[in-house]
Amino acid sequence: MSYWIVQLLNAVQASMLLFLVAVGLGVVFGLMNVVNLAHGAFYAFGAYLGWTVLQATGSFPLAFLLAPALTGLPGLAVYALAVARMQRAGHLAQVIATLGLLFVSVEALRALWGDIPLEFPVPPALAGSVDILGTPYPVYRLSVVALGLAVAALLWLVLSRTIAGAMVRAAVDNVEMAAALGVRTGLLFPVVFVLGCALAGLGGVVAAPLLSVHPGMGVEVLVPALVVVVVGGLGSLQGTLVGALLVGLADTFGAVMGPQLSGAAVYALLAAVLVLRPGGLLPARS
């Protein structure tokens, strides 16, 4: 019994990491109708920038706070140079240009930080483990779950209870209408885009102590993040959360129950969802 509970925890923890990375991708899609394959790069930048801050200051809180903020800077550059001018270019052009930017980002990481993976230790304050029905479980992983849930709750509050959130929802629903009603999309779009990048950066720095910090990490996370967004239905917060949970569950329990199929479970889930519901599970727009 405790075995399955621990595996469920593993699944939820993986889901929360995916959620942090995917939420920006999904919101940008829903709001601006932009497919941004370069999004994975911000996840990698978050991890690397966090590492650099940690090396420079030795402070974990600073690393975790500054990494997402610093990730917003390349985010702003990408918005200004590519996304803003491609908004009306159609998905085809967006796919190519942002894929190109992703390639550039990998080489930038290699040039700046080298090919050898870097060490990002678990913060000492969260290094221990707690007993879950007789099985020790790392505190840090539990913290990741808590962080993911907190971010989801905060985003939900902002979107549903604030003026800014109402503007975002209106713009997702119908950009022209929102603009006509006085929503300044010229300001709203870059702010949301950069926040999405910062969340991916947060995902990256949070993942760093669990995984390894290496140049390919942004490419590796891209496909799972896309799967989350598409399974959930583009552009809705609930959809992204549900998508992340489903993908995390499929990946974890696929690995545990059918070792011969592990790695395929996520894609089987994606295929099944799209065959049955060609627009994802909870699309923002019908």
Partner 1 sequence: MRALLPAVVSVAVSVLLAGPSSAREYRVGLLLPYSGVYAALGEEIEAGFRLGLEHFGDVLGEDTVTVLKEDTEVKPPVGLVKTKKLVLQDRVDVLAGIVSSGVLAAVRDFVHSAKVPLVVANAGNVEATGPKCSRYIVRVSFSNAQIARPMGRYMAETGIRTAVAMAPDYAAGHQHVEAMQAAFESGGGRMLAATYTPFGRTQDFAPYLTQAQATGAEALFAFYAGSEAIAFIKQYAAFGLRGTLPLYAAGYLNSRLTLDAIGDAAVGSINSLHYVTTLDTPENRRFQQAFRERHGRIASEYAVQGYDAAHLIVEALARSKGDPEAFVDAAREVRFASPRGPWYIDPATNNIVQNIYIYEIVKDATGQLVEKILKVYEEERDPPNGCDLAG
Partner 2 sequence: MFRLFDPLRTALALLLFGAGVLRALTGDVFALEILAETAVFAIAAMAFDLLAGFSRLVSMGHGLFVGTGAYVYAGLTVLGGLPPAAAAPAAVLGAGVAGLLVGLATVRTRDVFFLMATLAFGQMAHVFVLRSPALGGDDGLTGVPRPDLSALGVDLSDGRTFALAAVLLAALVYLLLGRLLASAFGRTLLAIGADEGRVRALGIGVARHRVAAAALSGAVAGLAGVLAACHAMYVSPGLFHWTFSGEVLTMALVGGVGSLVGPVLGAALVVELKYAVAAWTAHWGAVLGLFLVAAVWAGGDGIYGRIARAARALRRRLRPGPGGAHVRDGAGSA
Contact status: 111 vs partner 2 (CB under 8 A): yes
Query: Which of 12, 44, 83, 102 lies at the binding interface for partner 2 (CB under 8 A)?
Result: 102
Query: Which of 141, 170, 178, 234 lies at the binding interface for partner 1 (CB under 8 A)?
Result: 141
Burial class (CB in 10 A: 0-12, 13-18, 19+), 167: buried
Q: Which residue in 26, 263, 6, 284 sits closest to 134, CA to CA?
A: 6
Contact status: 118 vs partner 2 (CB under 8 A): no
Q: Which is nearer to partner 2, 93 or 146 (CB)?
A: 93
Contact status: 268 vs partner 2 (CB under 8 A): yes
How many chain residues interact with partner 2 (CB under 8 A)? 44
Query: Which of 84, 108, 118, 158 lies at the binding interface for partner 1 (CB under 8 A)?
Result: 118
Task: Taking the CA atoms of 151, 46, 33 and 267 in sequence, report the sign of the dihedral they define.
Answer: negative
Minimum separation from the CB atom of position 285 to partner 1 (A): 32
Burial class (CB in 10 A: 0-12, 13-18, 19+), 29: buried
CA distances from 39 to 3, 193, 225, 266 (A): 35, 10, 9, 20
Q: Which residues contact partner 2 (rule: CB under 8 A)?
A: 29, 35, 82, 85-86, 89-97, 99-108, 110-111, 223, 226-227, 230, 234, 260-261, 263-264, 267-268, 270-271, 274-275, 278-280
